[in-house]
Amino acid sequence: MPFSYHNPAQALESRRTIDGTGFGKVAIITGCSSGVGLATTQLFLSHQFEVLGVDIAEIDYEKIDPRDQERLHFHRGDLAKEGECDEVVRICVAKFGHKIDVLANVAGIMDAYEAADKITDYEWERILTTNLTVPTRMIRAVLPFMKAKQYGSIINVASKAAVSGAAAGVAYTTSKHGLLGVTKHTAWRFHEEGIRCNAVLPGSIDTNIFSSVGKEHFDEDTFSRLQPIWELHNPAGQKPQTTAGEVASVILFLASDQARGINGVSLPIDRAWGVI
């Protein structure tokens, strides 16, 4: 089957541009098999980055342009597993050498909109580990390489739920609020060492994330109270307007030297939902 981008909208956005953005640069992208992570991987590769992509799910190589496949090294692994984040960085260094220019922490899972009266210990742990502990461990693992080169850009994919109490369940909301704490702390702590750390806050995006919602413990009560807020952004029955490719473009910008003056920001990508 011939190569095709993830979807037609992304194909348009991911037009190949041979510029200097990624020449000689190495990026680690988590969650590279689907949604925003896949679109980011496609876009970075098209800008000539070498990419270490990691995901718990297999990647479909037919979604990667054959001209780029040599610069992609895919590792299948569960980042929530003890030691896996360090292992990813070890594999990256073994493959591409002692430099990591970019870390895009994209992998994430959604909760089932449970409020504090419904969330189980298991679900709290699962969501917080994947959405907050894993990105922090990934940052810890890449920092020695970024510090050694006095250069690096870290982009954390947070959410509108990082700044709102009315966009998701309590576990997802807390994990993304926490991720902004990690972003700001890392930005300030290492700003004199050439390392930047920024977050993007997407509204709803047309991806597979809702397949991670546990239907059996879906909190209908909480969802019905959040629904009017959601529908201001994403009217009922309509697909989200924001594409994974649009989010990937912002991640690429933040990773690039064009954004060298930007450090510690939380940038909404939500068609103005964030102003409410």
Ligand X SMILES: NC(=O)c1ccc[n+]([C@@H]2O[C@H](COP(=O)([O-])OP(=O)(O)OC[C@H]3O[C@@H](n4cnc5c(N)ncnc54)[C@H](O)[C@@H]3O)[C@@H](O)[C@H]2O)c1
What is the tally of helices (H) and strands (E) in the chain? 8, 7
Decide if residue 266 touches ligand X (CB under 6 A): no
Taking each helix axis from N to C end, the angle separating 134-149 and 170-189, rounded to the nearest 10 degrees, works out to 10
Q: Give, in order, the Cα–Cα distances in Å from 53 to each of 225, 234, 262, 268.
A: 37, 30, 25, 24
Return the residue of 26, 45, 79, 92 that touches ligand X, per CB under 6 A. 79
Considering only residues 130 to 159 of the shown chain, the ones binding ligand X according to CB under 6 A are: 130, 157, 159
CB-based burial of residue 37 (10 Å sphere; 0-12 exposed, 13-18 middle, 19+ buried)? buried
Structure tokens at 256: 């690039």
| CA pair distance 255, 41, nearest whole angstrom | 13
Decide if residue 87 touches ligand X (CB under 6 A): no
Structure tokens at 53: 């992509």
Decide if residue 92 touches ligand X (CB under 6 A): no
Q: Give me the least distance between CB of 114 and ligand X, in Å please.
A: 16
In the shown chain, the binding pattern of residues 178 to 217 toward ligand X, with x for contact by CB under 6 A and - for none, equals ------------------------x-xx-xxx--x-----
Decide if residue 34 touches ligand X (CB under 6 A): yes
Mark whether 151 is an active-site residue: no
Mark whether 172 is an active-site residue: yes
Contacts to ligand X by CB under 6 A: 31, 33-37, 55-57, 78-80, 106-109, 130, 157, 159, 202, 204-205, 207-209, 212, 244
- Catalytic site positions: 172, 176
